[in-house]
Structure 1
Amino acid sequence: MFLLSYIRSACHAIQAQGLKVIVIVAGCSCFVFYAKGQTTLPGYYKTDKKFNDELKQIVADVGLDSMFNVGDDGTEKISLAVIDLNGKQPVFGGVYYDNFIYPASVYKMYVAMEILKQVDNGKYALTDPHIVASPNDVDRSREISFDPRPLIMNNDTVTVNYLLDLMITRSDNSAANCLIDIAGRPNINKTMAAYRWAGSEVTRKFLSRKREDPGYDTVRSTETCALHAADFMYKIQNNQLVSPWVSMQMKALLGRQLDNTKLSPGLPAKAMFYHKTGWWSYYTNDVGIVDDGRIKYVIALFTPVREEKVRPRLKELSGRIYDLIVKRNTIKNSPR
């Protein structure tokens, strides 16, 4: 009890300085780590002031360039990143892209990365069975009502691959909790650190703190920023996320996303959107790769606005960003 009390006090002191806190539990020991979120733009991206200015104007026009009330958490702003993939060098633009915000279910994609990495390394196979154990079986209704697959329950035996598909395509919380246990949070975050995504560590399962594993019941909630999420998608698109196999498996999963209620309505029907959505309370998010056969780009958007209020704005923003990418590349490729 004294140790947990000490850790709790230390975490509060560290967070008061604006730093990220990570608690790793190993046996009877707890380890507290802290670091500022990594927000330096990688050197492989090109920047374009005009592109940034155009994105800022779109955000302002749709009413998302504000501080929004998020209840007991105070106020929060969006985090947006867009990567134009149509030239020799990717062009990065964004609005508050370095702002860390609650990602809701979007961070399940980080969990999937580590699972696929471990499969790729031969630790286990996608076809290996896993027995679901409480309290991981938290879902009492399907996140996607029209998906016919039943809820997974305590003592069910399912494969790793089945859990992956449920977690990404239906955003199943029970599947995510199982996979977080299989992957191991320290392992997930070691891989995150290798890609310089400090601040986006997976700290929590998708269950209440009172049901969390010892040592994880007092850690900060998971956060991420548009920069890290967009960079994740960029690596998938270029087969650079861990390995080509992992990248292609991730893209296949993201391409089967069943929630198409956020950025998808603003895209033309011919466009393929490989993406992961997330929603909870005040937060509504969508991150992915858009490819219509002519143009392709990455978009990562996190908003502190309830879904029922933000959906029309997401549709408009998505459509206008698609048109902007088309315009940029039509002008760039037109005869002089």
Structure 2
Amino acid sequence: MEKYMEWKEKIKKIISQSEGQVCVNFYDLDRKEGFSIDGDKKVLSASMIKLLIIAELMRQVSENKFSLSDKITVTEVMKTGGDGILKELESNHHFTIKELATLMIIVSDNEATNVLIDFLGMNNINQMAKNLGLKETYLGRKMMDTEARKNGYDNYTCANDISLLLKLIYQEKLINKEASQLILDILLKQQQGERLQRYLPSDIKIAHKCGDLNNLENNGGIIYLSNKTYILVVLTSGISNLKGKQTIGKISKFIYDKLGE
């Protein structure tokens, strides 16, 4: 634990070189210990909230409310801007719930996300956060809902909450073993990068989810090395998106290098 406290102080120095706010949670899954820096601080989640949505999705699947193979017709009225590919397709395609969940995670598809929020129920999703013991994670609006944002509704999380979600997935305790394995499999197919893996070797295996808004970059994941598995969550705000990605990358590279010593 002592060496991790040394790492924590060195990461604080990396953070001090950056403007804005940076929240960190590191957890060694083998030694079952770690540290956080402002890990309990409530921040805008951006697309990190989609981890909570897929957790609630799998809860309802586990209670046989529907099957992942059930299909939803995506209509014109469901069109949503921002990240994703559904907005570029013709309307009235039929997608399985698993396909929508996969798109929500691996390309952060906002249209798929909003379809699932309506399908699952926002209240149910927020109850899931409470049931999991998440402290600051809350879904206050759908994706790209600018009116809701103007009226003070938004989506929040903290680094410690994201770390807990990832820990439960890794330990196969998020809902159940089958649900955890399915979510992990989807996270491993993540298509968005340039953050945790920015300065790491290209063959490093990472199961992760990221999110961004103007001047905000978030990323959290399970990182698999040949001799070590760990969780790293870095949430940045108040700095340019490029510098946010670079800061996440620098902290990730620092941890990677230290574990390789």
Common fold by TM > 0.5 = yes
Give yes or no for contact 2:216–2:244 (8 Å, CA) kept in 1. no
Higher relative contact order (CA 8 A, sep 6+): 2
- Pick closer, same or farther for the CA change 1:61–1:207 going to 2, 3 Å: closer
Give yes or no for contact 2:46–2:213 (8 Å, CA) kept in 1. yes
Partner of 2:254: 320
Q: Secondary structure at the match of 1:203?
A: coil
Partner of 1:79: 23
Partner of 1:181: 118
Give yes or no for contact 1:263–1:314 (8 Å, CA) kept in 2. yes
Partner of 1:274: 207
Q: Give how far 1:56 is off.
A: 3.1
Radius of gyration: which is bigger? 1
1:167-190 per-residue CA deviation (whole Å, 9 max, x = no partner) reads 100001111101111111111111
1:8-23 correspondence runs (5 A): none
Partner of 2:180: 247
In the aligned structure 1, how far is the partner of 2:64 from the partner of 2:152? 31
In the aligned structure 1, how far is the partner of 2:55 from the partner of 2:107? 17
In the aligned structure 2, how far is the partner of 1:271 from the partner of 1:292? 7
Partner of 1:119: 61
Calculate the aligned-residue CA RMSD, in Å: 2.3
Give yes or no for contact 1:282–1:307 (8 Å, CA) kept in 2. yes
In the aligned structure 1, how far is the partner of 2:249 from the partner of 2:158? 21
TM-score (structure 2 length as normaliser): 0.90
Q: Secondary structure at the match of 1:111?
A: helix
Give yes or no for contact 2:106–2:192 (8 Å, CA) kept in 1. yes
Q: Secondary structure at the match of 2:99?
A: helix
What fraction of aligned residue pairs are identical, expressed as a percent?
Answer: 23
1:104-253 correspondence runs (5 A): 104-133=46-75, 135-139=77-81, 143=84, 151-152=88-89, 154-210=91-147, 218=151, 220-253=153-186
TM-score (structure 1 length as normaliser): 0.71
Partner of 2:241: 307
Structure 1, unaligned runs of 5 or more: 1-47, 69-76, 328-336
In the aligned structure 1, how far is the partner of 2:94 from the partner of 2:126? 27
Q: Give how far 1:63 is off.
A: 4.2
Q: Give how far 1:263 is off.
A: 1.1
Give yes or no for contact 2:219–2:248 (8 Å, CA) kept in 1. no
* Residue from 60, 77, 81 that aligns with 2:13: 60
In the aligned structure 2, how far is the partner of 1:291 from the partner of 1:50? 20
Partner of 1:256: 189
In the aligned structure 1, how far is the partner of 2:153 from the partner of 2:58? 26
The structure in which a higher percent of residues are helix is 2
* Residue from 261, 280, 285 that aligns with 2:218: 285
1:87-140 per-residue CA deviation (whole Å, 9 max, x = no partner) reads 2xx102111111111111111111011112211221111111112245531126
Query: How many pairs does the alignment contain?
Result: 260
